Amino acid sequence: MNIVDELKWRGAINQTNDEDGLRELTTEKAISLYCGIDPTGDSMHIGHLIPFMILKRFQLAGHKPVIVIGGATGSIGDPSGKKAERTLQSMEQVQHNQEALKTQLVRLFGEDQFRLVNNYDWLSKLSLLDFLRDYGKLFNVKTMLNKEIVASRLEVGISFTEFTYQILQSIDFLTLYREQDVQLQIGGGDQWGNITAGLDLIRRVEGADAKVFALTIPLLLKSDGTKFGKSEGGNIWLDADKTTPYEFYQFWLNQDDNDVVKFLKYFTFLSEEEITALEEQVKAEPWKRAAQKRLAEEVTQFVHGDAALAQAQKITAALFSGDVKALSADEIEQGFKAFPSVTTTADKQNIVDFLTESGIEKSRRQAREDVSNGAITINGDKQDDLEAEVDPQAMFDGKFVIVRRGKKKYFLARVQ
């Protein structure tokens, strides 16, 4: 299947300037294509993952991905989709962000499997006069104002700095076309104006017959109409220090039946046959959540690797069964991040004293009742003896005590 047809089946094409021409070109030869990311933060989130999944699909189909880190454009800000100007970052912060993003991109695309370039390398060499003479004269202000990316900001205002962003991005495309034979730029749907401005610039400078293409990805919505990409706690980051692999795995595992097949098409490299089979399982046996499990496995492995996936699955199984003894202190830190947290001393205590003084139980009477009824589990062991002692240093490197009250109510007691 041609890559364009595969993307259409996956519902991953929003707009192209010439679908038939792109299909013909990608059938004839392996092309170079690019996607950009501005270093406005030190980690990508899963919203960024959407266009990079498309870039990865081209890579797996034998094409040559180029990724542009926007060291220059990231320092001034992209007006796309925002109601206010970006806060300008220091060049030191931009440099830090660039290095962090490079590490994540290498993990996704493989060492030496793609070209990583920085638009600061060419844009920083432009003088103001060169910019105005060589490029500014080729852009019509009326056309720029009509681009949705700019028009959406006119009522609240837009600085000249952000207004020029589409010119700078167009120079990126022209530079890559000239120097690395890049013929296709991909991006989110909100980037259509910027990308087509690049097409126009290349054709003005290199000739109307230049074979260059644009492809954007649809805005990804959930079945309830809300934008995909965030949890109740905010962004789902690709940085394991910001969103742990366990949290990342759980995000995908908890997707709705109405969304899971769409996300399998977008975020996994499973074949049409495999996804169709999972779709049938969703219809026939939704309680097994086979599609969600496969989605969580595939995306977590892609972003974090085999070891992190195995760890996320181990934590998930332990929390479901209540058998937490095999977890390490690091796994406890990951798995119990969202559960209620209390503090306790390192000293041994009677179980009733421990439960009440840590705040897990509101009263000694309730604590005695729950223990006597067998409702309290300490570090995976059920406790029904009112004279039992809790030793906070007995497990998990002396850092934590895991308490379960009833079947599902967990507490993480941090030892101080």
Which three-class secondary structure state does DSSP give residue 340?
coil
Burial of 70 (0-12, 13-18, 19+ CB in 10 A): buried
How many CB atoms neighbour CB 46 within 10 A? 23
DSSP state of 237: B
Pick the closest to residue 148 from 184, 195, 183 (CA basis).
195
Query: What are 3's two structure tokens?
Result: 């890559």
Q: Is 34 annotated as a binding residue?
A: yes
- Residue 414 pairs in a beta bridge with 343, 400
Which three-class secondary structure state does DSSP give residue 66?
strand
Give the total residue count for the chain: 416
Q: What sign results for the dihedral spanned by CA atoms 235, 108, 70, 26?
A: negative
Query: What are 269's two structure tokens?
Result: 């490299």
Contact 185, 193 (CB under 8 A): no
Q: Is 95 annotated as a binding residue?
A: no
Terminal Cα-to-Cα distance of the chain (whole angstroms)? 59
Cα dihedral value 27, 3, 171, 210, nearest 10 = 20
Burial of 309 (0-12, 13-18, 19+ CB in 10 A): buried
Q: Is 165 annotated as a binding residue?
A: yes
**Cα 9 to Cα 209: distance, rounded to the nearest angstrom:** 29
Contact 53, 267 (CB under 8 A): yes
**Cα 271 to Cα 291: distance, rounded to the nearest angstrom:** 13
Residue 257 φ/ψ, nearest 5 degrees: -55, -35
Where do we find the tokens 């912060």?
93
Residue 93 φ/ψ, nearest 5 degrees: -70, -40
Q: Is 246 annotated as a binding residue?
A: no
Helix axes 257-267, 272-284, angle to 10 degrees: 170
Q: Which residues lie closer than 8 Å to 25 by C-beta, 6 or more apart? A: 31, 183, 211, 213
Q: Which residues lie closer than 8 Å to 60 by C-beta, 6 or more apart? A: 269
- Which residue numbers belong to the known binding site? 34, 165, 169, 230
- Which residue numbers belong to the known binding site for L-tyrosine? 34, 165, 169
- Which residue numbers belong to the known binding site for ATP? 230
